[in-house]
Amino acid sequence: MNHVIDRDVLERVLAGALRTGADFAEVYAEDKRSTSASLDDGRVEQMSSGRDRGAGIRVVAGDTTGYAHTSDLSERGLLDAAAAAAAAASSGGGGAKVIGLTPRERHVVNSVVQSPTDIAKTAKVELLQRVDEAARAAGSEIVQVSAGYGDSQKRVLIANSDGLFADDEQTRVLMRISAIANGDTGMQTGFQSMGHTVGWEIFDSVDVEELARDAARQAITKLRARPAPSGAVPVVIKHGSGGVLFHEACGHGLEADHVAKGASVYANKVGELVASPLVTLVDDGTLAGEWGTLGIDDEGHPTQRNTLIEDGVLTDYMWDFLRSRKDGHAQSGNGRRQSYMHLPMVRMTNTFVLDGPDDPDDIISSTDHGVYIAKLGGGQVNTASGDFVFGMTEAYLIEGGEITEPLREGNLIGNGPEVLRDIDMLGNDFAMGNPGTCGKDGQGVPVGDGQPTLRVKSLTIGGTAA
């Protein structure tokens, strides 16, 4: 981006943004190229590529923030956007301030060997066709396969009136697969996905045919599933698949803006035991290759590893620039935005629970009766109370310490703080889960999550079995 917007132009734009007496000004510019393709029933339904380029300018005066964005990256276009943001933030003052920007050394957390933008579209279509063939070969019960591929390469540049001048390049590759099986009990769906912040070389290590076969296996297995039980039972969650539970059930409650608004059940609890002593929860934007990884956050602060809960004790929240400045707290690299058209806010990156002491097989064998969840679906949470509901997309009955019959889809119902306290076994088989998009206040950003196999001694299953 440096060749698109010169540093001296940025300095003049920031100075202009402060002319009405504002306290802080920031320019966030991005240039994003993306490609997507989808296949349904053996046919390529869509293949597209695009480019989105623009800048957002934030001006802060006291407790008021003004924001304007533009796709015009000329000096005139940026100055006009700065004036609009400044007018929204301030209505008085005057004078000028000289801004001197100091380039920051790039914080590299990912390496890209082969940019997906250099790969022919025919190769991406062939990838989808391989997925389709592998899923259908898994069994005659498979009647429909859908697959989607996407990649993006985004360059960002961030400068602010504190002198920050940082840039980053983010490359992501994504694959999603859905398989539908038909049988005596009707149609059932299996789903699998993978997403990483690396280049096309990911397909040297990820077997897309195996992903497709797993999606098909899920669908075929569900054809013989029995209704899920109802009521409170011990629940074992497979490694990787339950990270979304922690993302939703407690991660959002540990975002400093929710805490400040009194909309978090974890407000004013730093230093308190809020989880089982087995639990250490981390948010880490530097985890190489993972979906929520980035070199700098969307305010230019280097990403870092933040321990939120350690041995069950709440140690800290996640912070963006404005909230950390207001509270006199260090930034944590969690200021994120969907695009240049959006204001940044506190968001997670890769959120996960660290390994515990238990063998995963022992967790199963010591559970006489319960439910084993191999894959969780979407859910929703009330951050003020911690109450949540999640879909179980792949689950099995545990009987006599063994995983037995598959269960039809049902709901997992509980309360985040109670779940954290009720984890009584934690495995030593940590894994990251599927890539996700976190929604908050109308914005979506890529996030990762994960955890080892674990057991919650009691969770409510919303099934249909009598």
Instruction: Domain ranges for the chain, please list them.
Output: 116-152+170-222, 230-462
Check pLDDT > 90 for residue 118: yes
Bigger pLDDT: 90 or 97? 90
Q: How confident is the model at residue 96 (pLDDT cuts 50, 70, 90)?
A: very low
Check pLDDT > 50 for residue 455: yes
Minimum mean pLDDT range among 49-58, 100-109, 176-185, 370-379:
100-109
Q: Which amino acid, 133?
A: E
Give the pTM. 0.94
Minimum mean pLDDT range among 25-39, 90-104, 202-216, 368-382:
90-104
Give the number of C-alpha atoms closer than 13 A to the C-alpha of residue 206, restricted to the C-beta side. 21
Distances in whole angstroms, Cα of residue 366 to Cα of each of 276, 423, 426? 19, 14, 12
Q: How confident is the model at residue 175 (pLDDT cuts 50, 70, 90)?
A: very high
417-441: average pLDDT: 95
291-319: average pLDDT: 98
148-177: average pLDDT: 97
Check pLDDT > 90 for residue 58: yes
The confidence score (pLDDT) of residue 185 equals 82
Q: How confident is the model at residue 379 (pLDDT cuts 50, 70, 90)?
A: confident
Q: How confident is the model at residue 1 (pLDDT cuts 50, 70, 90)?
A: low
The confidence score (pLDDT) of residue 249 equals 82
Tokens encoding 169? 């390049």
The answer to whether residues 53 and 31 touch, using CB atoms and an 8 Å cutoff, is yes
Residue with token string 């769906």: 189
Q: How confident is the model at residue 404 (pLDDT cuts 50, 70, 90)?
A: very high
Dist. CA 353–CA 422, nearest whole Å = 14
239-244: average pLDDT: 90
The confidence score (pLDDT) of residue 100 equals 67
Mean pLDDT score of the chain: 93
Bigger pLDDT: 155 or 245? 155
Bigger pLDDT: 386 or 70? 70
Check pLDDT > 50 for residue 392: yes
The confidence score (pLDDT) of residue 3 equals 60
Minimum mean pLDDT range among 97-111, 153-167, 359-373:
97-111
The answer to whether residues 285 and 292 touch, using CB atoms and an 8 Å cutoff, is yes
Q: How confident is the model at residue 97 (pLDDT cuts 50, 70, 90)?
A: very low
| Angle, helices 75-89/7-17, rounded to nearest 10 degrees | 20
56-73: average pLDDT: 94
370: three-class secondary structure by DSSP: strand
The confidence score (pLDDT) of residue 142 equals 98
Selection from 132, 109, 138, 130 nearest residue 203 by Cα: 130
Q: Tell me the fold of 116-152+170-222.
A: PmbA/TldD fold (3.30.2290)
96-102: average pLDDT: 57
For the chain, percent of residues with pLDDT exceeding 70: 96
The confidence score (pLDDT) of residue 465 equals 62
Helical (H) or strand (E) element with 180: strand 164-183
The answer to whether residues 7 and 165 touch, using CB atoms and an 8 Å cutoff, is yes
As separate numbers, helices (DSSP H) first and strands (DSSP E) second, the chain gives 9, 23
